[in-house]
Amino acid sequence: MTLRARDVHEHMRSVGAWVDWERTCDGFKYGDPDAEVRGIAVGWQSLQSALEEAHERGCNLFITHEPTFYSHMDDDESLRESEPARRKAEYLDRTGMVIYRCHDVWDTFPGIGILDAWSEFLGLGEAIATDRYYHLHQVPSTSAWELAHRIARKVAELGEQNVEFVGTRWQMVSRLAVGTGAITRPRGMVDLGADVLLVTDDGITYWGDGAWLADMGIPYIVVNHMTAEIPGLYKMVEYLREQFPDVPVEFVGPTCSYDLWASERMRDTPIRMRLDSL
């Protein structure tokens, strides 16, 4: 049976009951929705390099989690008229590729969506409290610095070479709040009862959120936005293979937004303690 790009969209509409389909950013961003699908590529973002990789693998439907033309709704005409956008559009016209965005459906898809997959990848177990975009997990009591080390070892599996840590290294913590995307708002995470946060670089401001956390005395760990969402996109690949078994489905594109060049590995910080603190 022929699979059309539109069939994928209709499937997502049927399962994404939590999405406001009149206001969502999800939907077709380029190409013919009635095109016959020869292969599906899933990527964090429809970058030019990812589109070319998908085309080389024989995929003509690209499902992206993030925008194609550099604004959340892909509706900024000044950006769509910019040089890289024009080159991208020309490439899509030439290849006949179709771009579909699946963001709001997959962010909170139960069990295998972006947030749940992130917690599962980190091995955090069941959440003890949840909000729409955050989970709170009980973790074995440890120093915040050791927790950062553990998370760094995990994200290394996804190609991220570092995590950032802000706070007091030796502070003991046991309630970790995690979030993904550009919505890791510290106050909401602390309201869940967290004493340490795992946030993303696109989801926090150091001058605002970071200063608030510093004055609250709550340490936080920062990872790359893309990296935090890759486990959920791997789950999407598995899901689409189950739903559309006659069409190949591949993950394409990078798993971290940057490479790291560090001038030093670690800076020692002297600890000042009063005798009665021992």
CA distance 87 to 197: 40
- Give the end of a domain, one of 106, 139, 174: 106
Residue 119 sits in a domain whose CATH number is 3.40.1390.30
82 and 141 co-located in one domain: no
pLDDT in tens, 2-44: 999 999 999 999 999 999 999 999 999 999 999 999 999 999 9
155 and 77 co-located in one domain: no
154 and 89 co-located in one domain: no
120 and 219 co-located in one domain: yes
158 and 183 co-located in one domain: yes
Per-residue pLDDT, 270: 55
pLDDT in tens, 138-176: 999 999 999 999 999 999 999 999 999 999 999 999 999
Amino acid letter, residue 213? L
Does residue 128 belong to any structural domain of this protein? yes
* Cα-based distances in Å from 111 to 26, 119, 168, 189, 202: 20, 10, 33, 20, 24
Per-residue pLDDT, 183: 85
CA distance 93 to 52: 13
Per-residue pLDDT, 31: 98
- Give the end of a domain, one of 59, 85, 106: 106
Quote the pTM value: 0.94
100 and 10 co-located in one domain: yes
25 and 101 co-located in one domain: yes
128 and 209 co-located in one domain: yes
Quick one: what percent of the chain has pLDDT higher than 90? 92
Report how many domains make up the chain: 2
Instruction: Note down the domain range covering 128.
Output: 114-226
- Give the end of a domain, one of 208, 226, 244: 226
pLDDT in tens, 224-272: 999 999 999 999 999 999 999 999 999 999 999 999 988 876 666 555 5
- What is the H or E stretch that residue 134 is in? strand 134-143
Does residue 98 belong to any structural domain of this protein? yes
Per-residue pLDDT, 275: 46
CA distance 31 to 54: 15
Regarding predicted confidence, which is higher, 271 or 213?
A: 213
pLDDT in tens, 61-119: 999 999 999 999 999 999 999 999 999 999 999 999 999 999 999 999 999 999 999 99
Strands 172-179 and 196-200: parallel
125 and 102 co-located in one domain: no
Per-residue pLDDT, 78: 97
Per-residue pLDDT, 262: 82
40 and 69 co-located in one domain: yes
Q: Smallest Cα–Cα separation from 191: which of 212, 164, 171?
A: 212
Give the largest CA-CA distance in the chain: 76
